[in-house]
């Protein structure tokens, strides 16, 4: 996939640590609420809701919480009203950043994100300033070190797989958003182990970070943005060489 960002891989590697964060449940529940509000409470007819439910279950969010979140989204029970807002900006070196947030006060969220970016070498931009650099794709991570790449591609191309990338612990498959559910179901039916199946914003091109200082600075910025309570996802177009990433993780 041309322009795939290293941030997706970095987040995958530290997923176990993220699961320990106190606000993770709250973010996942918000995603279910908004998905149900926008597309209805039936996950078989609402791909965004199905993905949100799958993420919540993978993080061990209690089923009762998920059911209540769906009912809040459809208006069956009362609660805070959240809206999805996409914020756009830049990190150091002109790196593009997309911030997907769910908020009940967009002015407060914008002010907090502007301050976070400013303190960490970035800036909040106008709507549309970087969104054109990304495209929405379905992304599925297949876990397994002994998987045959050609066999995997042939097994999923009829289900809508467009491309794949080899990772340290498996493969990442890409598809049109409308094919995400069929691709996921096809892989599971054939016995593959999936660690995630969700919609992501994939950069069309990337900016290489070729020094330890630049990489550390942008990674710190991405992490502080993700820690903000209203933020659901952060996407960027930076690319860190594997050898430098290994050095940072070491």
pLDDT band for 47, please (50, 70, 90 cuts).
Answer: confident
Q: How far are the Cα atoms of 2, 191, 245 from residue 144, in angstroms, in the given order?
A: 23, 11, 21
Domains, the chain, ordered by start: 84-132+205-241 (3.30.70.980)
- Which segment, 73-77, 120-124, 141-145, is predicted with the most confidence on average? 120-124
- Structure-token pair, residue 184: 């996921």
pLDDT digits (tens, 9 = 90+) for 135-181: 999 999 898 888 888 888 888 888 888 988 888 788 889 999 888 88
Q: Which residues of 46-76 are buried (b: 16+ CB within 10 A; e: fewer)?
A: bbbbbbbbbbbebeebeeeebebbbbbbbee
**Cβ atoms 6, 17 nearer than 8 A:** no
Q: Which of the pair, 2 or 90, is modelled with greater confidence?
A: 90
pLDDT band for 203, please (50, 70, 90 cuts).
Answer: very high
- Structure-token pair, residue 162: 């467009």
Q: How many Cβ atoms sit within 10 Å of the Cβ of residue 42?
A: 12
Q: Is the pLDDT of residue 3 over 50?
A: no
DSSP string, 144-180: -TT--HHHHHHHHGGGTEEEEEEETTEEEEEE-GGGH
């Amino acid at each position: 996939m041309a322009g795939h960002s290293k941030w997706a891989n970095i987040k995958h590697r530290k997923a176990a640590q993220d699961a320990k964060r106190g606000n993770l449940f709250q973010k996942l529940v918000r995603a279910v609420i908004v998905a149900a509000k926008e597309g209805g409470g039936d996950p078989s007819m609402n791909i965004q809701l199905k993905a949100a439910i799958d993420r919540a279950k993978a993080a061990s969010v209690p089923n009762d919480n998920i059911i209540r979140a769906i009912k809040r989204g459809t208006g069956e029970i009362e609660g805070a009203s959240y809206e999805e807002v996409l914020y756009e900006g830049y990190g150091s070196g002109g790196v593009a950043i997309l911030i997907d947030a769910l908020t009940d006060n967009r002015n407060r969220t914008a002010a907090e994100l502007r301050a976070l970016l400013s303190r960490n070498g970035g800036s909040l931009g106008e709507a549309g300033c970087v969104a054109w650099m990304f495209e929405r794709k379905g992304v599925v991570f297949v876990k397994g070190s002994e998987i045959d790449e050609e066999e995997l591609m042939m097994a999923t191309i009829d289900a809508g797989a467009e491309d794949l990338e080899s990772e340290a612990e498996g493969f990442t498959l890409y598809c049109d958003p409308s094919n995400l559910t069929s691709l996921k179901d096809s892989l599971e039916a054939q016995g593959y182990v999936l660690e995630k199946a969700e919609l992501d914003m994939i950069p069309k091109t990337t900016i290489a970070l070729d020094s330890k200082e630049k990489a550390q600075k942008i990674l710190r910025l991405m992490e502080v943005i993700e820690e903000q309570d209203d933020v659901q996802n952060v996407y960027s177009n930076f690319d860190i060489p594997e050898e430098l990433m290994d050095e940072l993780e070491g």
